[in-house]
Amino acid sequence: MRALADTSTEPAQPLAGSPSITSFDGPDIDMLIRQGFRPARIESLEAVARGILSITFAPPLGGEPAFTPGAHLEVAIPLPDGPAIRHYSLCSKPDGSQGWKVAILDEPTGRGGSHWLHEHLADCTSLLIRGPRDTFGYQRRAPMLFVAGGIGITPISAMIHDAEDAGLDWHLIYVGRRNELMAFADDLIDSHGSERVDVRITAETGRPDVVALARDWFATARASGATAPEAEGTEGGPVVYTCGPVPLMRALAAGMEAEGIEVIFEDFDDDAPPTAEATASGQAEAAGASGTDTAFTVETTSGEEVRVACGQSILAALGAAGVRTLSSCQKGTCGTCETTILDGRADHRDHVLSDEEKEAQETMMICVSRAQTDRIVLDI
């Protein structure tokens, strides 16, 4: 079971000196610290591609530098309508020897988080962060194929560091529109060679058939004996780890199913504006895991009662009642709004909790999940 953040109200470091922190008002600072956010010093900034800026953090005081490949940080950003929480995958070495490094794509037409960072980071000395948190589920397996699309290279980079250090058989297919828009592409080729790193630039060669490329690589790996179960340091058979545009990830999942090869991916594109597909998906989720969508009451730890109407999320109802909460993706994929259940049962509709965690009824994602009971008491 994943533990929720420490709710201590004592910050690990002073909260003064950086506009990214002092722009929050007092109640928002209190809420963020209560939910486990801590100030982390910015050690360096670097442009790693056009429109992509990397930030290297020093772990907060008392933080463990090492992290799981594929883990991400949650970053609190002071947007005009309140704290925005955005998720950025760690792309440095998982042993922590390079600090905590993330790479952020500027999305001027998005919901504002990444653009604020690109506009203001030069004046910031620290940011409020929480994590690292792993929802990707990386394990060492043999052989491993990595497929990255655009900024999806960030979690894959940390996995490659680990696979290389462990001496595992791996290969990367990295797809992007132009080379100057692809973070780390040249560095990856320089470090590992074009035999391991297959960069596909769609503006020059068109969109590749990633499923066919994956099948070809696994066929070669089988012929070389890399799929042998005794491969050192592995937990199971062949696997694809992928991150990038949703159509790319879904195509891989469908194409590899016939090959009996597992495809593992993560989706928390929480700064992009909603698409028609995402809206339709959200409407489908509203139908509910239980098949019902009835009104119910949420009670907070202060005793306040908030009625959640049919078709309304807990998150929206609490916001309308003036109850401060944290959220990001608002589609049940990121985990930011995970909230402890004190009484009652949740109708889980998220894509974060495992089946065992859902059955345990200890926490819920209040952006999409509802209540099975007429009343549910939450630690808010």
Question: Which CATH number covers residue 239?
Answer: 3.40.50.80
At 204, the pLDDT band (50, 70, 90 cuts) reads very high
229 within domain boundaries: yes
Decide if pLDDT at 202 tops 80: yes
pLDDT beyond 90 at 7: no
Mean pLDDT of 333-352: 91
pLDDT value at position 40?
A: 93
Which helix (H) or strand (E) segment holds residue 84: the answer is strand 82-89
- Is pLDDT at 336 greater than 80 in this prediction? yes
> 259, 274, 286: which is closest to 347 by C-alpha?
286
Structure-model confidence comparison of residues 327 and 363, the more confident one: 363
pLDDT (average), residues 342-362: 91
What residues make up the domain containing 320? 278-378
The confidence score (pLDDT) of residue 63 equals 74
105-146 pLDDT per residue, tens: 998 888 888 999 999 998 899 999 999 999 899 999 989 999
Strand partners, 264: 241
Residues 112 and 70 placed together within one structural domain of the fold: yes
- What's residue 289's pLDDT? 52
The pairing of beta strand 170-176 with beta strand 197-201: parallel
Per-residue pLDDT, 369: 95
- Report, as an integer, the average pLDDT of 238-258: 93
Same domain, yes or no: 29 and 116: yes
- 354 occurs within a structural domain: yes
- Of 36-40, 81-85, 164-168, the one with minimum mean pLDDT is 81-85
Residue where a domain stops, chosen among 241, 265, 289: 265
Residue 139 lies in a domain: no
337 and 230 share one domain = no
pLDDT tops 50 at residue 288? no
> What does R_g of the chain's alpha carbons equal in angstroms?
21
pLDDT at 218: 94
* Residues 125 and 200 placed together within one structural domain of the fold: no
State which of 265, 296, 323 marks the end of a domain: 265
Say whether both 209 and 114 belong to one domain. no
188 and 120 together in one domain? no
pLDDT of res. 235 = 66
- In this prediction, residue 5 carries a pLDDT of 41
Q: Is residue 138 part of a domain?
A: no
With bands split at pLDDT 50, 70 and 90, how would you rate the model's confidence at 232? Answer: low
Does the residue 3 lie in any domain? no
- On the question of pLDDT at 68 being above 80, the answer is yes
Specify the DSSP class assigned to residue 138.
-
What is the per-residue pLDDT for 293?
82
Residue 156 pLDDT: 97
Residue 10: predicted pLDDT = 42
- Mean pLDDT for 264-292 is 50
Query: How many Cα atoms within 13 Å fall on the side-chain side of residue 180?
Result: 2
Q: Is residue 3 predicted with pLDDT exceeding 60? A: no
Cis, bond preceding 132 (omega within 30 deg of 0): yes
Same domain, 46 and 94: yes
Q: Quick check: helix, strand or coil at residue 217?
A: helix
Identify the band that residue 226 occupies on the pLDDT scale cut at 50, 70 and 90: low
Q: Does the pLDDT of residue 281 top 70, yes or no?
A: no
Q: Which helix (H) or strand (E) holds 76?
A: strand 72-79
Per-residue pLDDT of 112-122, as tens digits, reads 889 999 999 98
In terms of domains, do 190 and 282 share one?
Answer: no
Q: Are residues 212 and 241 in the same domain?
A: yes
pLDDT of residue 210: 95
Asked if the structure places residue 78 within a domain, the reply is: yes
What is the arithmetic mean of pLDDT over 181-196?
96
**What is the predicted pLDDT for the residue at 333?**
81
Q: Structural domain tally of the chain?
A: 3
34, 139 in Cβ contact below 8 A?
Answer: no
Whether pLDDT at 187 is above 50:
yes
Q: Are residues 291 and 337 in the same domain?
A: yes
- Which residue did the predictor score with more confidence, 39 or 25? 39
C-alpha closest to that of 175 among 215, 145, 210? 210
- Mean pLDDT value of segment 256-269: 84
Q: Among the listed ranges 21-35, 75-89, 192-206, which one has the minimum average pLDDT value?
A: 21-35
The enclosing domain of 67 has a CATH number of 2.40.30.10
pLDDT at 186 over 70: yes
Residues 163 and 247 in one domain: yes
265, 290, 322 — which closes off a domain? 265
- CA dist 188 and 53 (Å) reads 17
244 and 175 within one domain: yes
Q: Is residue 4 a part of any domain in this protein?
A: no
Q: Is residue 93 part of a domain?
A: yes
